[in-house]
Amino acid sequence: MVDCCIFDLDGVLVDTARFHYEAWAAIARELGFAFTAAQGEATKGVSRMASLEIVLRAGGLENRFTSAEKEQLAARKNALYLQKVSGMTPADVLPGVRSFLEDVGRHGVSRVLGSASKNAGVILDCCDLRRMFEAVVDGTTVTRAKPDPEVFLQGAARAGAAASSCVVFEDAAAGIEAATRAGMRSVGVGGSPALSGATMQLRSFENFSFDMLCRQID
């Protein structure tokens, strides 16, 4: 039984995970070291400040900066990131996503956004996705970042759904762990081996339907 689908944003509905990575890699370069794509995996799903700590640790710089300097580095990363996302349009929504969201809606099942990002609203508007969700929970309302289950528990509460009837769509290991801790089933999107803890795997939403989800996850 699936009453509510909760979607992560970055890397699930839109390909912004690579923009987050590119912006952090630029900050690392400015600080004098290379931040690899493999290292970038650990920042997926993780809050902005926690991501900064991961980047600084990769460069051996974890004790180098004051809190104020860290705030500046995070703000600079965000400015670079916003430059990259500001040109996004509805064409940037990943293949199959829009028709899957419509299909879920047609079944009367709640669609909730559950993202760690403080920029979720900007992206939803650029990509004309906001109207596809009954509720939006994002980095502006959540205090404890994934893998804490808060974002998904808030999402279920907003939809009036029991955790056991929710399915979370996630591209990050931290998000799959958050879903499991929330008592929810999860779909690991994108095929990364880091998502082996998910209830089921989905490479892409292309040709995927709500009926297929129910058949595979129930």
- Write out the binding residues for ligand BG6, residues 25-84 only, by CB under 6 A: 43-48, 51, 78
Binding site partner of 139, from ligand BG6, Mg ion, none, Cβ cut-off 5-8 A by kind: ligand BG6
- Write out the binding residues for Mg ion, residues 118-177 only, by CB under 5 A: 171-172
For Mg ion, the binding residue among 2, 5, 8, 163 (CB under 5 A) is: 8
Q: Is 171 known to be catalytic? A: no
Give the Cβ contact number of residue 169 at 10 Å.
24
For ligand BG6, the binding residue among 101, 116, 126, 137 (CB under 6 A) is: 116
107 binds ligand BG6 (CB under 6 A): no
For Mg ion, the binding residue among 4, 6, 11, 48 (CB under 5 A) is: 11
For ligand BG6, the binding residue among 10, 148, 150, 177 (CB under 6 A) is: 10
Q: Is 10 known to be catalytic? A: yes
By CB atoms closer than 10 A (0-12, 13-18, 19+), residue 191 is: exposed
CA angle 49, 153, 100 (to 5 degrees): 95
Contacts 24+ apart (CB under 8 A), 50-54: 50/145, 51/20, 51/24, 52/77
Write down the H helix ranges in the chain: 17-31, 37-40, 48-58, 67-85, 97-106, 120-126, 150-159, 173-181, 210-217
Nearer to ligand BG6, 17 or 153 (CB): 17
10 binds Mg ion (CB under 5 A): yes
- Active-site positions read 8, 10
Residues that bind Mg ion (CB under 5 A): 8, 10-11, 45, 171-172
